[in-house]
Structure 1
Amino acid sequence: MYKQVIVVNKSLNMSPGKLGAMVAHGATSFFCEWFKRNVVTSNETYNDYLINPNARVDKELFAQWISGSFTKIVLEVEDDAAMKAIIEKAHEYGMVNRQDFFNIVDESTEFLDIPQWAVIAFKPMEAEKIDPITGELNLYGYEEKMSMEWEN
C-alpha cells in the first residue's frame, strides 16, 4: 500500500487553521517539487508553462496512490528534537531531503520568534519503506482523543 506520511511538530501548539495550512503545504510539496523540476519553459503565446515531454512518474506510484486511494497519514512528535530524529532516521534509510521528504518551516515566526519546523512531509511511498521510520509514532491527536474518552 502506498501512503503519504506527514509528521507534525506538536510542541508548536498550532491553531487548527495553522495546522491545516502546514499539513496542506506538506501534502502538496512532493507535487510542487516535481512540477518545478519538470517545467521546461514558459509559453508566452498562451501565458502558461510547458512540462518536459520526458517527465516521468513512477508507474506504481501513479497506479496505487495518484489514481488510487491518495492515502495520507498525519502523525505527531513532541518537539523539535524528535523532528530532527525523524530526519536522521530518514537519512539512515537513504532518503534525501527535497526528494523523499520535505521540511516545512513556518516562516511567520509566531512561535518563539524564529522559524520552526512545523511538519515533515514524506513523498508518497510504499508502507514497507516509510513504516521503519515513522511506524512507531502516534496519529496526530490520538492521545488527547483517548484521554477525553477515558474521562467520560
Structure 2
Amino acid sequence: MGVEHKQVIVLRKDLNMRKGKMVAQGAHASMRAILQLGHAAQGNFVIPLDTRIEPWLLGRFKKICVSVNSEAELLAVHDAARAAGLITALIQDAGLTEFGNVPTYTAVAVGPDREDRVDAITGGLPLL
C-alpha cells in the first residue's frame, strides 16, 4: 500500500462553540484549503492535482479533527504548517452569530499532504 494522505482540522475548544458552529468552521477550513489552490479557467473552476492533492481527492479523503485551547495555539499551528510548506487555511469567523460581533479565529486546516508531514505539525494535538 502507498503512502497515506490526510487533512487535519484544528478547532478551538476555548470558544465553547455550538456543535453546529464548530462543524461549519471546520468545513470552511477544509474547503478553503483546497479551493484556494484553484482558479477560474474558461467558465470552469480548476484545481491542479499534485502529489499532495491527487492521492487525497481521488483516494481515501481522510480527515481528522483535533483541538487547541487558545487563539495563540491555533495561530502557532497555522504558522508551523506554513513554515513546513504544507497547505493550510486559517478561518476567521465574522462574529455575526457568536462571539459578540468580534471577528474570531476559529479553525485551521492542515493539509492534505502525506500523513507523516501533517502529523509532524498536528500529531501531538488531542482528538476533538
Please indicate the TM-score interval, normalised by the length of the shorter structure: 0.7 to 0.9
**What amino acid is the match of 2:61?**
F
Partner Cα distance (2:36, 2:72) in 1 = 26
How many residues matched? 124
Deviations 1:41-71 (A, max 9, x none): 4xxxxxxx2346xx63115632x31121110
Pairing of 1:75-94 with structure 2 (within 5 A): 75-94=66-85
Correspondence for 1:23 among 26, 44, 53: 26
- CA separation of 1:34/1:93 partners in 2, compared to 1, >3 Å: closer, same or farther? closer
Q: Which consecutive unaligned segments of at least 5 residues does structure 1 have?
A: 42-48, 141-152
Correspondence for 2:94 among 87, 96, 107: 107
Q: Could you say which residue in structure 2 is the equivalent of 1:61? A: 53
- CA separation of 1:67/1:94 partners in 2, compared to 1, >3 Å: closer, same or farther? closer
CA deviation after TM superposition for structure 1 residue 29, in Å: 1.1
Between Structure 1 and Structure 2, which shows a larger proportion of helix residues? 1
- CA separation of 1:33/1:88 partners in 2, compared to 1, >3 Å: closer, same or farther? closer
CA deviation after TM superposition for structure 1 residue 112, in Å: 5.1
- CA separation of 1:117/1:60 partners in 2, compared to 1, >3 Å: closer, same or farther? closer
Q: Could you say which residue in structure 2 is the equivalent of 1:131? A: 119
Write out the 4+ residue segments of structure 1 that deviate beyond 6 Å after TM superposition. none
In structure 2, the residue corresponding to 1:22 is in which secondary structure? helix
Contact 2:68–2:125 (CA<8 Å) still a contact in 1? yes
Q: RMSD between aligned alpha carbons?
A: 2.0
- CA separation of 1:50/1:67 partners in 2, compared to 1, >3 Å: closer, same or farther? closer
**What amino acid is the match of 1:17?**
G
**What amino acid is the match of 1:116?**
T
Partner Cα distance (2:18, 2:62) in 1 = 24
CA deviation after TM superposition for structure 1 residue 86, in Å: 1.3
In structure 1, the residue corresponding to 2:53 is in which secondary structure? helix
CA deviation after TM superposition for structure 1 residue 88, in Å: 2.9
Percentage of matched positions with identical amino acids: 31
Partner Cα distance (1:58, 1:111) in 2 = 37
Partner Cα distance (1:33, 1:84) in 2 = 19
